[in-house]
A and B are shown apart, each in its own frame.
Chain A
Amino acid sequence: MKMSPAMRKAQENMQPGVITAEGFLGSEEHSLRDIIVRDEGEMQRLGLEFDETAVLLKHLVEEGRKGLGEPVTVDGKWLVQTWEARGHLACPFEDGIFRKITAEIENKSKNIKIIVTDLAIHLMETHHFLEGTGSSFRLDPEKMKKVLKD
C-alpha cells in the first residue's frame, strides 16, 4: 500500500537510533502503513476500540503513578508499577513529546502483564500504531485483551 510523505518520514523516525536506540518497528518487514492496517483489523476482530483502550490505559498508568515507583493494586484487578525517567521522547509522527513513563500492568487473576508507555498510548490512540512485532513496547492486541478484559 502506498505511503504518504508524512508516513514515510514517521517510518524513518522509527528506525533504531533515531528517537530510541531500539526503534519502534521490531523485526517487522512490512511498511508502517501495512502494520497499522493489519493491527486495526486485529483490534476490530478482538472487539477492542482504540480510544476506549487508550482511556483505560491512561487511567491505569495515572493510578499506578500514585505508588511512587512501587507496585500498587488498581481497581482491585490490576497490579501497576511505574518507572519514570528524566526527559521526554518525541513522537515519530512529529506531533508532540511525551514523558518517559513506563508502566507494567498485570492482570492479577490471570498473571499476564503488558508494558505501556506514555508515548505508546499516544501512538495507539492517535495513530493506531501499536509498534512492530518484536518491539519491546509493542501493545499486542491479543495480550491487551487478556490483560484488560474479563
Chain B
Amino acid sequence: MSYIVAPLVVAALAAVLGAVIAVVDKIVNNYGDVTININGKKSLTVKGGDKLLSSLASQEIFIPSACGGRGSCGACKCRVVSDVGPHLPTEIPYMSKEEIQKNIRLACQIKLKADIDIEIPDELFNVKKIKSRVKSIRNVTHDIKEVVFDLQGETIDFKAGRYVQLVVPPYGKMKTSTQRAYSMSSKPSDNGVVELLIRLVPGGIATTWVHNFLKENDEVELIGPFGDFEKRETDATMVCVAGGSGMAPFKSILYDMYEKGDFDREVWYFFGARTVKDLFYLEELKTLDNKWENFHFVPALSEPDPDGGWNGETGLITDVLDRYIKTKMRADKDKEGYLCGSPGMIAACNNVMTGNGIPLEKIYYDKFA
C-alpha cells in the first residue's frame, strides 16, 4: 500500500509547492507599469519586469543590437540616468572605464523594475521596422549574395554608410527569432529598396538562412537605419579599404557621391580578395574609375592563381595600401581613413594608416561587414 501512497504524497507536496512558488512569483515579480523617460523628451509606459531593449522595441524605439538581445554583442548601449543598481557581470566585458562611470548600460540586460530615465541618440527616434519583400537574390561570388528587399511602398531615409538589422525568423533547429546587422549597399536615393551583400559564414545563423532558405518574394522584416559610418564633409583624400561583403557601405557611398556630382574629392578604394573568383563588381567599379578622374579603384589579390591572367596588384591589402600611401598619394594632402571589415582587418589597417601619418581620430570604420 505504501508503494502507492508515498508517490502520491510526494506528488501532492510537489504540486502544492509549485502553486506556492507561482503565487509568490506573481506577487514578488509583479512590477506593474513602469515609465521609461527618454532624453527628457518622450515618456513611454510599459509593463514592468521585461528587459529595457525589448520594452523599447515594443514601443517602436529600436536600439541597435547585433545579437537580438542575447547579451553577446555589446551593441545595445544606452545611458541610464536613474539608479538601476550596479553593472551586471554580463555587462562589464563590453564596457570601458569611462562608460561605467557614465552609467552606460546594455539595454538587453536591464530589467525594468521601476520608472527609469535613459538617454539615447536622437536619431534612433527615426529608426523603423519595415516589412519588406525579397525582390531579387543574386550570387556575386561563390559565397556572397546580393539581396534586394522591396520596402512595399515604405521608404528608408539614410546617409550612405548606414546599416540595417535583418530579422531572421525561427528556422530549422532555431526556436527563436534573431537579428543581424548588415551595411546597406544601395544608394540613399533608391529609398524604396534596401540592398545587402551577405557573405556565407559557415554555421552562421543569419547567413545560412539567407544563403540556404531565403527565396524571392519572401517577406522579411528590416529595422533601421543605424550607425554613424559616413563620408565626412571635408576636402581630405578619402582612403577606403574593404574586403568581401565590406564592399557594401562603399558601394553606397561611392555611387551616392557620383550621383551628387561630388567629383572634386580624391578617393582611393582598396579592395582585397584572395583570387579572381572572390572579386565582384569589378567591371562597374573600373568603369566608375574611368568616368571619375579623382576616383582610384585598386583591387588586390593575396593568392592569385598563377595561370589566372591577373595583372593587377598582389599581396595582402594592408601591404598594397602601405605601398600606395607611400608612393602614389600626395604627401602634402590631408587624408582620412574609411574601413569596413572584421575587427582584425580594422586593427591591421589602423596600424598602416597611423604609421603613414593619418591620425587615429581621422580613421572611421564600420565593424558590421
Q: Which residue of B lies closest to A67 (CB)?
A: B302
Partner of B93, one of A17, A88, A117: A88
Q: How far is the CA of A115 from the CA of B204 in the complex (A)?
A: 11
Contact digits for B9-39, partner A, Cβ 8 Å, 1 yes 0 no: 0000000000000000000000000000000
B window 186-207: CB within 8 A of A = 199, 201-205
Report, as a range, how many residues of chain A touch the other chain: 20 to 34
Is B175 in contact with A17, judged by CB distance below 8 angstroms? Answer: yes
Give the residue among B176, B344, B367 with the most A Cβ atoms within 10 A.
B344
Q: How far is the CB of A88 from chain B (nearest CB, A)?
A: 6
Is A97 in contact with B202, judged by CB distance below 8 angstroms? Answer: no
Is B73 in contact with A102, judged by CB distance below 8 angstroms? Answer: no
Q: Which residue of A lies closest to B177 (CB)?
A: A21
Is A68 in contact with B74, judged by CB distance below 8 angstroms? Answer: no
Q: Does A50 contact B (CB under 8 A)?
A: no
Partner of A21, one of B74, B176, B199: B176
Q: How far is the CA of A69 from the CA of B246 in the complex (A)?
A: 10
Q: Which of these binds chain A: B78-86, B122-130, B272-280, B324-332?
A: B272-280
Q: Does A3 contact B (CB under 8 A)?
A: no
Q: Does A93 contact B (CB under 8 A)?
A: no
Residues of A with C-beta under 8 A to B178: 21
Q: Does A87 contact B (CB under 8 A)?
A: yes
Give the residue among A17, A21, A67, A117 with the most B Cβ atoms within 10 A.
A21
Q: Which residue of B lies closest to A97 (CB)?
A: B93
Q: How far is the CA of A77 from the CA of B178 in the complex (A)?
A: 37
Q: Does A149 contact B (CB under 8 A)?
A: no
Q: Does B114 contact A (CB under 8 A)?
A: no
Partner of B173, one of A16, A19, A115: A16
B window 259-316: CB within 8 A of A = 272-274, 278, 302-303, 316
Q: How far is the CA of A115 from the CA of B303 in the complex (A)?
A: 21
Q: How far is the CB of B367 from chain A (nearest CB, A)?
A: 5
Contact digits for B232-253, partner A, Cβ 8 Å, 1 yes 0 no: 0000000000011010000000
Q: Does B342 contact A (CB under 8 A)?
A: yes
Q: How far is the CA of A59 from the CA of B289 in the complex (A)?
A: 40
Q: Does B94 contact A (CB under 8 A)?
A: yes
Report how many residues on chain B are interfacial, defined by Cβ distance under 8 Å. Answer: 42
Residues of A with C-beta under 8 A to B94: 87-88
Q: Which of these binds chain B: A4-12, A37-45, A78-86?
A: A78-86
Partner of B316, one of A68, A89, A115, A137: A68
Is A22 in contact with B205, judged by CB distance below 8 angstroms? Answer: yes
Partner of A102, one of B174, B203, B316: B203
Residues of B with C-beta under 8 A to A109: none
Q: Which residue of A lies closest to B317 (CB)?
A: A68
Q: Does A36 contact B (CB under 8 A)?
A: no
Q: How far is the CB of B106 from chain A (nearest CB, A)?
A: 10
Q: Does B318 contact A (CB under 8 A)?
A: yes
Contact digits for B130-151, partner A, Cβ 8 Å, 1 yes 0 no: 0000000000000000000000
Q: How far is the CA of A65 from the CA of B343 in the complex (A)?
A: 10
Q: How far is the CB of A130 from chain B (nearest CB, A)?
A: 14
Q: How far is the CB of A63 from chain B (nearest CB, A)?
A: 12
Residues of A with C-beta under 8 A to B348: 68
Nearest first, the 10 A-B pairs at minimum CB distance are A87-B73, A136-B203, A84-B342, A68-B345, A70-B274, A115-B202, A83-B201, A65-B344, A71-B274, A87-B72
Q: B residues engaging A (CB < 8 A)? A: 66-67, 70, 72-75, 90, 93-94, 173-176, 178, 199, 201-205, 243-244, 246, 272-274, 278, 302-303, 316-318, 341-345, 348, 367-369
7 contacts between A and B (CB under 8 A): A17-B175, A70-B243, A83-B204, A86-B73, A87-B67, A87-B73, A90-B90
